[in-house]
């Protein structure tokens, strides 16, 4: 939606070889288990000859060249994210039913924030902050963020990550039941008083694979 192309990294090699992936319904579930860095293809290799990516994920194409493993220096802290997720009494497994996949490349989030034109003083409704990586970029841009997260573990994680700040309100709720009038409009009115600014909504759409 924001001009990012997507590469498809099928979840299960065998299944994906057998079954057709519909472009509009691709899988976006990213495992948080540590895995070894993948060697990047040689720059001398023409793009159409590069080996297919390993199975398991779908990523914005712009993330590929700036991934943490290539020294881009723009990654969300992968290991501290995993530690935080696992520190709440259970081993965190991303829930497919909630479209849980997490952005680990902070640079992509910065690009998303820039593409959305988020700037100082904006009030943003973020739906499903997950680990808070996009939230971090929104806050860094100077926005006030109202983040609505259905999963209580993720809501706790985001609260812990950013601590108490007037710039962020984390609400543990299903967005489909979220009452905009009582939760969001008062903050919007307070922050935008005397200005012509209005709210911006941020959501990373979940794209699912059909098997
Ligand atoms: C794709 S992940 C978010 C990724 C995150 N923005 C990031 O950059 O890492 C989607 C998030 O939306 C949450 N979610 C799914 N359904 C929801 C709902 N109905 N209301 C609120 N949050 C929801 C999930 O728990 C998950 O944390």
Instruction: Pick the atom of ligand 1 nearest to 176's CA.
Output: 19
Give whole-number Cα distances, 64 to 9, 32, 55, 109, 137, in Å.
12, 17, 14, 13, 19
Q: Which of 15-24, 52-61, 121-130, 133-142 has the lowest mean pLDDT?
A: 52-61
Q: What average pLDDT does range 134-155 have in this prediction? A: 93
ipTM over 0.90: yes
The residue range of the domain holding 95 is 77-210
**Cβ(157) to ligand 1 under 6 A?**
no
Instruction: Pick the atom of ligand 1 nearest to 148's CA.
Output: 21
* Predicted local confidence at residue 24, as pLDDT: 34
CATH number assigned to the domain comprising residue 199: 3.40.50.150
Provide the 10 A C-beta neighbour count for residue 86.
13
Asked whether residue 130 is assigned to any structural domain, the reply reads: yes
Give whole-number Cα distances, 36 to 39, 99, 160, in Å.
9, 24, 28
Ligand 1 centroid to 129 CA: how many Å? 6
Number of domains composing the chain: 1
Return the structure tokens found at 100. 């849980």
Whether 136 contacts 168, CB under 8 Å: no
Asked whether residue 132 is assigned to any structural domain, the reply reads: yes
Q: Taking the C-alpha atoms of 157, 162, 163 and 164 in order, what is their torsion angle to the nearest 10 degrees?
A: -120
Whether 164 contacts 184, CB under 8 Å: no
pLDDT per residue as tens digits for the range 83-112: 767 776 666 677 788 888 777 777 888 999
Q: Rounded to two decimals, what is the model's pTM?
A: 0.62
């Amino acid at each position: 939606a924001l001009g990012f192309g997507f590469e498809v990294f099928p979840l299960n090699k065998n299944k994906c070889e057998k079954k057709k992936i519909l472009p509009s319904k691709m899988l976006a579930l990213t495992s948080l288990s540590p895995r070894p860095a993948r060697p990047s293809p040689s720059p001398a290799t023409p793009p159409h000859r590069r080996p297919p990516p390993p199975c398991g994920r779908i990523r914005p194409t712009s993330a590929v060249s700036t991934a943490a493993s290539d020294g881009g220096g723009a990654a969300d802290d992968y290991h501290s994210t995993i530690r935080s997720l696992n520190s709440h009494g259970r081993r965190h497994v991303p829930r497919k039913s909630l479209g849980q996949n997490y952005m680990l490349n902070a640079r992509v989030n910065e690009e998303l924030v820039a593409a959305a034109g988020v700037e100082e003083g904006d009030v943003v409704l973020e739906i499903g902050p997950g680990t808070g990586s996009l939230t971090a970029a929104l806050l860094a841009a100077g926005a006030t963020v109202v983040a609505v997260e259905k999963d209580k573990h993720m809501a706790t994680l985001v609260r812990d990550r950013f601590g108490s700040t007037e710039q962020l309100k984390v609400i543990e709720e299903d967005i489909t039941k979220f009452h905009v009038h009582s939760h969001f409009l008062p903050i919007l009115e307070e922050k935008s008083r005397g200005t012509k600014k209005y709210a911006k909504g941020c959501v990373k759409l979940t794209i699912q694979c059909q098997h």
